[in-house]
Amino acid sequence: MLYVRKKPIVLEKLEAIVPRLAPQHPSYSKVEHALAKEWKGFIGEKKVDFFLQQLDDRFTILSGIYLRVHDSNFQIDTLVISPQALYIIEVKNYNGTITFDTTLQQFFRNDGLQEKGYRYPITQAELQKSHLENWLLERSHAEIPIYYFIAIAEPSTIIQVKGDEQAIARVVSHGEHIASKIWEIEQSIQGTNTIEQQKIEQLIRSANRSQTHNVLDKYMIKKTDILPGVVCSICGKIGMERIHGAWKCPHCQGISSTNHLKAINDYLLLINHEISNQECMRFLGIKSHSVVTRLLKGSNLSYNHTNRKWIKKS
């Protein structure tokens, strides 16, 4: 089974902001922290994805599901669709020791330096299951079995339980064991139920909403705070110069012929969904209209002759 998880749009935006925000900006440290958190979550999901490849072609894996039911949105990290059931997989990427307290429904992580409490993952997964059941019910699919798991991405993480160990063991495990847990359920319900797998997949794909994540507003960043220029992919500093058909970094002397592509994408992510030649000249720091036109033509964008702006291809 070949499956590749796409980078979440919020992660893309945070990656674009950090090198383009002055370190003295009031929100700089918050954005840096948010970027590190999003990256850690994404890496954890990728780790679990690797082990889910053990499932054969009878299973469909969907990621980053964002649906709306009863006037509210809900998100699912990973959804596995089998011929018999749906499996919600909530991924947690923690180091050190984590503790599930089933009596008080609390969740803690101890990284060796401090103990910190987080939202109880079981409650979170149960809520996702309830939302998905209601979403399917609205579409006349009320009898589909739905199961959930909490996948701990880091294999070295120690899992402890205060209270009902068996209840936690049924739904919580390291990522490498999730596929086998799915297989166990599949075998136990074999022949009892068959779902319209392809139809359910298409329903979810077509309804999957795009998360806009207005990161600038969230961190009180103005568009004018976003620094223009081409970022060096070697040293990470902004301000590469266009020299002899390439980009040269004045800080590390690194050279690239394609770093403008990332800069244009940053603009489309953070400033506007479309860009004119004039705006591109300013953002890239290029004075030649013909050079910018040539770069835009090679950027896999579509040109709108009506407003004379470039936009991402749909």
**Residue 194, burial from CB neighbour count under 10 angstroms (0-12, 13-18, 19+):** exposed
- Tracing tokens 């999003």 back to the chain, one arrives at 38
CATH 1.10.3470 fits 228-312, yes or no: no
pLDDT at 38 over 90: yes
pLDDT of res. 70 = 85
- Numbered ranges of CATH 1.10.10 in the chain: 228-312
Region 268-272: mean pLDDT is 95
pTM > 0.85: yes or no: yes
- For 217, counting Cβ atoms within 10 Å of its Cβ (0-12 exposed, 13-18 middle, 19+ buried), the class is exposed
pLDDT of residue 71: 84
Label residue 133 exposed, middle or buried (CB < 10 Å: 0-12, 13-18, 19+).
middle
> Which of 63, 86, 60, 87 shows the shortest CA–CA distance to 75?
63
pLDDT digits (tens, 9 = 90+) for 96-140: 999 999 999 999 999 888 899 999 999 999 999 999 999 999 998
Buried b vs exposed e over 205-216: b needs ≥16 C-beta within 10 Å?
eeeeeeeeeebb
Please give the DSSP secondary-structure letter assigned to residue 22.
-
- The residue with greater pLDDT, 288 or 2, is 288
Among 66, 77, 39, CA closest to 175: 77
The helix or strand, by DSSP H or E, that contains position 182, with its residue range, turns out to be helix 178-188
Average pLDDT, the chain: 93
The two tokens of residue 34 are 């948010």
- Four-residue CA torsion sign, 255, 260, 262, 266: positive
First to last CA, the chain: 26
Q: Write out pLDDT tens, residues 15-35.
A: 999 999 999 999 999 999 999
Q: Average the pLDDT over 151-159 and give the result.
A: 96
pLDDT at 3 over 70: no
**Would you say residue 211 has pLDDT above 80?**
no
DSSP 265: H
Mean pLDDT of the region 51-70? 92
Going by pLDDT thresholds of 50, 70 and 90, the confidence category of residue 175 is: very high
The arithmetic mean of pLDDT across residues 163-167, rounded, is 96
